[in-house]
Amino acid sequence: MLNLPSDYMSAETRAEIQAELDVNRALLRSQGKLEPVKSGIVTFDWPLAAASWLDDPGVHGISNFVDQDPAFPNQLLDYNCGARSYDLSNGYNHRGIDFFTWPYGWKRMDEFGVEIVAIADGTILSKFDGNDDRSCGFGGGSWNAVYVEHSDGSIAWYGHMKNGSTTSKAIGESVVAGEYLGIVGSSGSSTGPHLHLEVYDGQGQLIEPYAGACNVMNASSWWTQQRAYYDSALNRLEIASAPPDFPACPQAETSHERRVFSTAETMYYIAFYRDQLAGQNTNYKLYRPDNSVLYDWLHSSPEPHYAASYWYWFWDLAGQPTGTWTWEATYQGQTEQRQFELVAPGNGDNDGFMDHLDNCMTVANPSQLDSNGDGYGNACDADINDDGIVNFADLNQLKLAMFSAVGDANWNPAADFDGSGTINFVDLLTMKTQFFGAPGPSAYAPL
Ligand SMILES: [Zn+2]
């Protein structure tokens, strides 16, 4: 499996940060920007949120909790009496919770996909930004971080943020629970994109927000709703033309996700999990457009515990009906679905005649110009000039290809053959057949 992110901070660096927080705290108090510490209970909401465009049901896993055992090395004890933590031979015992992005840590960082949000209302005590965010190991220099003091005097450290992503709010400004603080990254001594959340109580003592039998730091949970130690869930379903690529750190991963396939293609069905345990079944089903079930199968992981895992199957659907198909997975009471369009293959004959459309029609979604739904142009989009948008330049090329040969210099509304109100690939296919039934040297302009 993949290496799970971890991190390091020297005692000296930690002391420097604490000294600065002390200075800022006193200064903000003197300026009236920080309320006196109140008694009472502050509880924590979840520190991560998916960007609004990202519809994955889950975006993280947990690689490490606070190490409760001060001995080292390899003397590990997490709050639940397990060993999901780490220490180092130099005496560092992990002092926070590591929430890593899963799947696609680097890709998600690059696309601002996973946000770090405030776990409670508070005041920004300090923040750092401007440091490189593609660290792959320890010794990676300073991190980008935001530090927030809550009304009870407890302080949360949010570390390893993406360069340039920290909140635009200034030191001394207040934030509310759930408010954006930054993007998960890998700045500082970090082996991959993750949030290191480190929390001190009102007396300055390190705590582990999770309550459990082996938590020697605090008896009760600081979470508003504490999640299970093994928080097993489906993070993402993906249908793709190939399995994902996980290149060497810190290169971004590649997803080959598509939502449109032809009956001539092989498609990969990929499920990403967090905290998958042996014996947990997933029930997968593949539904035809008429909702009848083509495949129905069970799978469980043989591994006692994966903090992050993914599994895939692949086959083609030759001879199956075209239309909207649904892939479904049910795991631990959670049901997720992904839909895709199955279309008839274009001729894809590469005969030099309208090959762009031939090949695009092997994958094109008849309902939209951005045929693979990725939001960007590529060889199989109507974005013929690949400038990232489908614009009039592309339409002009299509028009030239489709109409110049028959002497029609103007766009013809009659080209909306299927009456959908737009000129789409179905229309283009009809046009091609109608106007260019056979290759001819003067019949078209190459796209
Ligand atoms: Zn950490």
Res. 287: pLDDT tops 50: yes
Q: What is the pLDDT of residues 374-394, one digit of tens each?
A: 443 344 455 555 555 555 566
Residue corresponding to tokens 């004890």 = 77
Please give the Cα distance from 373 to 360 (Å, whole number).
13
Res. 402: pLDDT tops 70: no
Residue 236 CA to ligand 1 centre (angstroms): 24
Residue corresponding to tokens 């639940």 = 80
- CA–chain centroid gap for 433, Å, is 42
Q: How confident is the model at residue 409 (pLDDT cuts 50, 70, 90)?
A: very low
DSSP category for residue 134: B
Residue 415 CA to ligand 1 centre (angstroms): 59
Q: What is the pLDDT of residues 288-346, one digit of tens each?
A: 999 999 999 999 999 999 999 999 999 889 889 988 999 999 999 999 999 998 876 65
Please give the Cα distance from 439 to 350 (Å, whole number).
12
More confident residue, 394 or 41: 41
Residue 85 CA to ligand 1 centre (angstroms): 9
Burial class (CB in 10 A: 0-12, 13-18, 19+), 414: exposed
Closest CA to 349 of 337, 358, 340: 358
Whether the upstream peptide bond of residue 193 has omega within 30° of 0, thus cis, is no
Please give the Cα distance from 296 to 265 (Å, whole number).
21
Please give the Cα distance from 22 to 80 (Å, whole number).
32
More confident residue, 399 or 403: 399
Quote the pLDDT of residue 441. Answer: 32
Closest CA to 115 of 174, 177, 184: 184
- Highest-scoring range by mean pLDDT, 36-40, 93-97, 138-142: 93-97
Tokens standing for residue 125: 């005590």
Residue 155 CA to ligand 1 centre (angstroms): 16
Residue 131 CA to ligand 1 centre (angstroms): 17
Residue 239 CA to ligand 1 centre (angstroms): 32
Residue 60 CA to ligand 1 centre (angstroms): 14
Please give the Cα distance from 264 to 327 (Å, whole number).
18
Res. 108: pLDDT tops 50: yes
* 244 within 8 A of 251, measured Cβ to Cβ: no
Residue 87 CA to ligand 1 centre (angstroms): 10
Residue 259 CA to ligand 1 centre (angstroms): 36
Q: How confident is the model at residue 408 (pLDDT cuts 50, 70, 90)?
A: very low
- CA–chain centroid gap for 282, Å, is 22
Residue 62 CA to ligand 1 centre (angstroms): 10
What is the edge-to-edge ordering of all strands in the sheet holding 233-240? Answer: 233-240, 266-277, 305-316
392-403 helix and 425-435 helix, angle to the nearest 10 degrees: 30
Quote the pLDDT of residue 265. Answer: 83
Quote the pLDDT of residue 261. Answer: 81
Quote the pLDDT of residue 94. Answer: 97
Quote the pLDDT of residue 369. Answer: 41
Res. 155: pLDDT tops 60: yes
> What is the three-class DSSP state of 208?
coil
Residue 197 CA to ligand 1 centre (angstroms): 7
C-alpha torsion sign, points 87, 126, 186, 233 = positive
Please give the Cα distance from 336 to 330 (Å, whole number).
6
More confident residue, 371 or 12: 12
Quote the pLDDT of residue 404. Answer: 36
Residue 6 CA to ligand 1 centre (angstroms): 5
Residue 365 CA to ligand 1 centre (angstroms): 44
More confident residue, 447 or 275: 275
Residue 225 CA to ligand 1 centre (angstroms): 22
Quote the pLDDT of residue 388. Answer: 52
Res. 276: pLDDT tops 90: yes
Q: What is the pLDDT of residues 183-193, one digit of tens each?
A: 999 999 999 99
Residue 154 CA to ligand 1 centre (angstroms): 18
Quote the pLDDT of residue 430. Answer: 63
Residues with CB under 5 A from ligand 1 (ion): 7, 96, 98, 196
Quote the pLDDT of residue 112. Answer: 96
* 22 within 8 A of 29, measured Cβ to Cβ: no
Q: How confident is the model at residue 362 (pLDDT cuts 50, 70, 90)?
A: very low
Instruction: Please state which of the ranges 56-65, 75-84, 236-245, 395-404 shows the lowest mean pLDDT.
Output: 395-404
Instruction: Please state which of the ranges 40-44, 107-111, 164-168 shows the lowest mean pLDDT.
Output: 40-44
Contacts of 33 (CB under 8 A, 6+ apart): 123, 172
Residue 334 CA to ligand 1 centre (angstroms): 29
Residue 206 CA to ligand 1 centre (angstroms): 13
N- to C-terminal Cα separation, the chain? 44
Domains of the chain with CATH codes: 11-207 (2.70.70.10), 233-343 (2.60.40.1930), 355-435 (no CATH)
Residue 216 CA to ligand 1 centre (angstroms): 19
Residue 83 CA to ligand 1 centre (angstroms): 14
More confident residue, 414 or 128: 128
Residue 65 CA to ligand 1 centre (angstroms): 8
* 183 within 8 A of 114, measured Cβ to Cβ: yes
Quote the pLDDT of residue 391. Answer: 56
Residue 14 CA to ligand 1 centre (angstroms): 13
Residue 105 CA to ligand 1 centre (angstroms): 15
Residue 93 CA to ligand 1 centre (angstroms): 10
Res. 178: pLDDT tops 90: yes
Q: What residues are paired with 148 via a beta bridge? A: 124, 156
Quote the pLDDT of residue 273. Answer: 98
Quote the pLDDT of residue 446. Answer: 34
More confident residue, 263 or 392: 263
Instruction: Please state which of the ranges 130-134, 255-259, 265-269 shows the lowest mean pLDDT.
Output: 255-259
Residue 311 CA to ligand 1 centre (angstroms): 27
Residues of the chain with pLDDT > 90, as a percent, come to 68
